[in-house]
Amino acid sequence: MPIPGVSVIFIRLPNPNALKAAVYSRYGPPEVVHISELKKPDPRPNEVLVRVHATTVNRTDCGFRSAEYVVSRLFSGLFRPKRPVRGCEFAGSVDAVGADVRDYTVGDRVFGYDDHRFGCHAEYKIMPQEGAMALLPECLDFVSAAALTEGSHYALCNIRAAKVKAGDTVMVYGATGAIGSAAVQLLKHLGAYVVAVAGTSHIELVKTLGADEIIDYQKQDFTKARHAFDIIFDAVGKSAFRQCKPLLKRRGIYLSTELGKHSENVLLALTTPLWNDKRVLFPIPVMRRTDAVYLRELALQGAFRPVIDRTYPFDRIVDAYRYVEARQKVGNVGITIVS
């Protein structure tokens, strides 16, 4: 019974067994995502529970959320998503470890990548101890560390497939995306001569990434480049092998992050090595723990720093999705979960 003159305020205490996550239950536009509460998981013997401080919204998340390419449903669920939480990269601190975990202890600051189970758009994330995770390079904040892996592992995978070596002349088309901006830095670290292609407003940025030459595609036709290239890496999927072939040296290699206008790149990757001295490669990207350690080392050496375009608070993750899908982001879009 209310006591006259006394008002009662109900305060809902946070549930220690729950976590907040950005969830979706059907494929579609950014608006299918909303923040909800899920049960906080316990790590199994070989697992680590990470308190996620920052994550990103990237093109991988968008692709799986929208299922724009129907082929992605083979991995994420034919009719509806099997996993309700997207997000493939994270940075945070170890909150709990399973009984068999020897490589991490509670309080370690870590970053990592998981495009099998996703789940990084949440306050907590389970990682297997042998997953693609490493100690956070102390020179980076949580948002930058969270962005260390997605774009760079696509770049790394392509660079390794093409066996880039010091002195190679490489064109990076789309040098300002998450993949392109990582590719320019990783290629410079390997000693390649890098010609970057970018739009007028991003020329200064691309210079800071270390490109040796820059082609402004809004003012100049990139196919009139004055070099012959060992490798052309289209990091935004806007070119075609047919268009780039004349620019390649003998035994030159064309790489693209997209299937191509007519989905031709996979077929070309199978056929060009048979009859053509200029080849298309279309490697399947993988990210291992050793790759996370390698990226950490590069960050510590100052050889690789992810470009951060902007950062959104967790409760505005739908806006982040909308921005990334405008296809004009520069580098990476961060999400802060612990501010």
* Sign, Cα dihedral of 30, 34, 39, 40: positive
* 255: β partners: 233, 281
Q: What span, in angstroms and rounded, lies between the C-alpha atoms of 335 and 20? A: 14
Please, which of residues 173-232 interact with ligand NAP by CB under 6 A?
Answer: 173-174, 176-180, 197-199, 202, 217
Binding status of residue 260 toward ligand NAP by CB under 6 A: no
CA angle 300, 305, 306 (to 5 degrees): 140
CB of 330 to ligand NAP, least distance (A): 5
CB 196 within 8 A of CB 206: yes
Closest to 145 (Cα-Cα) out of 110, 179, 100, 184: 110
Does residue 60 touch ligand NAP according to CB under 6 A?
yes
Phi, psi of 141 (to 5 degrees): -80, 175
The nearer residue to ligand NAP, 25 or 220, going by C-beta atoms, is 220
Q: Which stretch binds ligand NAP (CB under 6 A): 99-107, 168-176, 266-274, 289-297?
A: 168-176
Least Cβ distance, residue 125 to ligand NAP (angstroms): 20
Any idea which residue has 């990269």 for tokens? 89
With CB under 6 A as the contact rule, the residue among 98, 210, 237, 283 that binds ligand NAP is: 237
Q: What residue number has its CB nearest to ligand NAP?
A: 177
* Residue from the set 20, 59, 279, 296 that interacts with ligand NAP by CB under 6 A: 59
Comparing CB distances to ligand NAP, the nearer of 255 and 337 is: 255
Instruction: List the one residue out of 272, 232, 226 whose CA is nearest residue 252.
Output: 232
Instruction: Determine the longest span between alpha carbons in the chain, in angstroms.
Output: 91
User: 3-state DSSP call for residue 274?
Assistant: helix
Among 6-14, 43-51, 84-92, 323-331, the segment contacting ligand NAP (CB under 6 A): 323-331
The two counts, helices (H) then strands (E), for the chain are 10, 15
Residues 294, 143, 298: CA angle, nearest 5 degrees: 20
Q: Measure the N-to-C terminal CA separation of the chain; round to a whole number of Å.
A: 41
Give whichever of 12 and 219 is closer to ligand NAP, judged by the CB atom: 219
| x-marked contacts with ligand NAP along 120-159 as a string, rule CB under 6 A | -------------------------------x--x-----
Is 261 a binding residue for ligand NAP by CB under 6 A? The answer is no
Q: Is there binding between residue 41 and ligand NAP (CB under 6 A)?
A: no
> In this chain, which of 108, 258, 264, 319 binds ligand NAP, going by CB under 6 A?
258
Please tell me the count of residues contacting ligand NAP according to CB under 6 A.
Answer: 28
Q: Does residue number 65 form part of the binding site for ligand NAP (CB under 6 A)?
A: no
Reduced to 3 states (helix: H, G, I; strand: E, B; else coil), residue 192 is coil
What's the min distance (Å) between Cβ of 149 and ligand NAP? 12
Backbone angles phi, psi at 210, to 5 degrees: 105, 10
Smallest gap from Cβ 40 to ligand NAP, in A, equals 29
Owner of token pair 């997209």: 258
Q: List interacting residues with ligand NAP (CB under 6 A).
A: 58-60, 63, 151, 154, 173-174, 176-180, 197-199, 202, 217, 235-238, 257-258, 327-330
